[in-house]
Amino acid sequence: MKVPGDASLAGGEALPSLTVYRIRDVLEGDVPSVFDEVIDAHALRSCAVHDYYDDLLTARLYIPPVHGELPRWVPFVRDGFADAVFGRGVASQALIVASVHRYNRDRLFVIPFGHARFLIRQELIEPAFGRRVALNLLYEEAEVNRDWSRIRQVDARTIEANLRRSRVQRNRDTTFESFGVDPQRDLLDRIVGVPRDMDQFGRRISGGDSFRLELDMDFGGLGALLRRLLTVYGRTTYRDHFAWIDRVRAVNDPRLLHRLRNRTIDLVMSGAAEIDLAPPEVVDWDRIASFTFEIGNRAEHDDLRLNDYLDAVQRSRTQELDYRRLLMHRVTARDGDGSVVVRWSVARTLFGEFELDGAHYILDDGNYFQVAEDYLAELNGFVAALAEPTTALPMTTAATLEDTYNKALVLGDRNRLLLDKKTIQLAARTTPIEICDVMTVHGELIHVKRKLGSADLSHLFSQGYVSAETIHAGPELRTAIRTKINEQAQLQRRDATKFCNLVGEPFSSVSLTVVYAILADWQGKPHGDRMPFFSKVNLRHHTQQISRMGFKVAFAAVDAT
């Protein structure tokens, strides 16, 4: 349907791009009356509404009141809703809620224009709908002898303690592998590329939560397009190449988040072993002398413990603990002089793993992630199979500082050299390099970290990798390392030759072992059960990277209670 007599809305114009969200199958009711439930109730009251019907599609158009110039997408929308009146302005916006009957029920979609996506009730959006459609189209019935260079942009998140987002673009279409995404620890957010069927889906598609395409079509083809998207969404072709993307999923659904937070409160209140407290960021444990919960009697504690927090809550005037209070309650870390080192909400310090309705979830730094059970078992098996170090690492107490423990390791043993904080500044790096905390004549490079917080452990594993990479990099860097070792050996009255020869020329990495030692309350459990999920991911990643350079890797779970 066209609007006669309006040259600016000539029927020959094509829509520049179309963004499609799928609505989760949680709404019940008759179409189109259920459409209004998709829109934010406050915004709905001010919208002009128009309806559309054809053999395949039932749709309702919502137009908020604005004024100014007509945007480019108006001709496409007018093709379906001829009586719609649009404001004239760059801020113009509109939103279509559409239904197609497929697989014995009505399936709902939302197509926003301008900034109208903010009108959608976010908890109703089907997560990763567009990503799955895009992957199925990009790798549809792919064969080895066909062209794989179809990707232009990849958005991803690296699942480590400090979440890192990245967007990598190429100046021409290329293979997915060229974007540097690590299947072990990256979450794929959005992918942009060229579909194999350009006649049906256009020259460029993009998929994340939404699916975007550029296609020369009029409004009458929308119903058929949405049915095609449902068909493509139902395929599992993507698993032939991207099975790893289903292993870990960030939880964004507000309804599920509400249930997970309520489950967290239940676990916290019961003092369950599945939940504990830990710093959500890397901290200098040599500075921190105590922790204080800013509620109750504000007693000082030598470590972060869930039971201490619950005791503080009980001694306070808190009538009922809920997630809002976890966000409000603060924990403060102080140094020996009582000065504040850092402060967080209690919600950020919670970490753990638990099940809900048979699914496994990770809580870390206030975020929730759903994990496939077989992936978790795979990671736990990897941690359990790590070798133990030759050097005996004695148990200690929770109050023992890292530098105190490191000094005790070398005390009276001339086959060990203390290198804790003895850094090397290299021209090729912006930050100083620490070879290790303790080096042994047996070739063990021991890196020590207190506690089980994801941030600290990610830092520990990265530190071991950077050290190995530096040693492996070349003779010039090893010369600087030998200089530092020789200097410290003389100061500590050790035989420098024994230690320097381990990084001498010609160099062989097979004589060196990177040792990760974690001082924590392991509660008598397997290491994989106590270590945060993201730490296990990063431990495996860095272990594999170190092993590729020829180094051995060992792991020590040191009891510190």
Q: What is the three-class DSSP state of 418?
A: strand
The reply to whether 149 and 15 lie within a common domain is: yes
Q: Which residues contact 57 (CB under 8 A, 6 or more apart)?
A: 98, 99, 100, 222, 223, 226
What is the C-alpha separation between 437 and 418, in angstroms, rounded?
A: 6
368 - beta bridge partners?
Answer: 363
The answer to whether position 357 is within a domain reads yes
Joined together, the tokens standing for residue 142 give 């792919």
Mean residue pLDDT across the chain? 88
The answer to whether position 400 is within a domain reads yes
The reply to whether 44 and 192 lie within a common domain is: yes
Joined together, the tokens standing for residue 276 give 């504990």
- Residue 497: pLDDT band by 50, 70, 90 thresholds? very high
pLDDT at 7 over 50: no
> Between the CA atoms of 456, 460, 466 and 467, what dihedral angle is there, to the nearest 10 degrees?
140
The reply to whether 303 and 194 lie within a common domain is: no
Pairing of strands 205-207, 350-356: unpaired
pLDDT of residue 67: 56
| CA-based nearest residue to 408, from 444, 438, 450, 452 | 438
pLDDT at 88 over 90: no
- Residue 10: pLDDT band by 50, 70, 90 thresholds? very low
- Residue 15: pLDDT band by 50, 70, 90 thresholds? low
What is the C-alpha separation between 368 and 366, in angstroms, rounded?
A: 7
Pairing of strands 513-520, 444-450: parallel
What number is the average pLDDT over the span 372-377? 90
The reply to whether 447 and 362 lie within a common domain is: no
The answer to whether position 2 is within a domain reads no
pLDDT in tens, 92-135: 789 999 999 887 789 999 999 988 888 898 878 888 899 999 99
The reply to whether 397 and 536 lie within a common domain is: yes
What number is the average pLDDT over the span 463-476? 94
What number is the average pLDDT over the span 325-336? 92
pLDDT in tens, 19-72: 999 998 878 778 888 999 999 888 888 899 999 999 999 999 999 876 566 777
Whole-model pTM: value is 0.74
pLDDT of residue 505: 95
- Residue 191: pLDDT band by 50, 70, 90 thresholds? very high
**Could you tell me the maximum CA-CA distance found in the chain, to the nearest angstrom?**
96
Which of 209, 244, 279 lies at the terminal end of a domain, its last residue?
Answer: 244
Which of 318, 335, 370 lies at the terminal end of a domain, its last residue?
Answer: 370
- Residue 3: pLDDT band by 50, 70, 90 thresholds? very low
pLDDT at 326 over 90: yes
The count of structural domains within the chain is 3
The answer to whether position 1 is within a domain reads no
The reply to whether 71 and 177 lie within a common domain is: yes
The reply to whether 45 and 71 lie within a common domain is: yes
Residue count (the chain): 561
The reply to whether 63 and 93 lie within a common domain is: yes
The reply to whether 527 and 403 lie within a common domain is: yes
pLDDT of residue 28: 78
**Structural domain range at position 232:** 7-244
pLDDT at 386 over 90: yes
Rg value, the chain, Cα: 29
What is the C-alpha separation between 301 and 312, in angstroms, rounded?
A: 11
* CB neighbour class for 63 (10 Å; exposed up to 12, middle 13-18, buried from 19): buried
The reply to whether 97 and 28 lie within a common domain is: yes
* CB neighbour class for 44 (10 Å; exposed up to 12, middle 13-18, buried from 19): middle
The answer to whether position 249 is within a domain reads no
pLDDT of residue 2: 33
pLDDT of residue 187: 83
The answer to whether position 271 is within a domain reads yes
Joined together, the tokens standing for residue 105 give 């029920």
The reply to whether 37 and 185 lie within a common domain is: yes
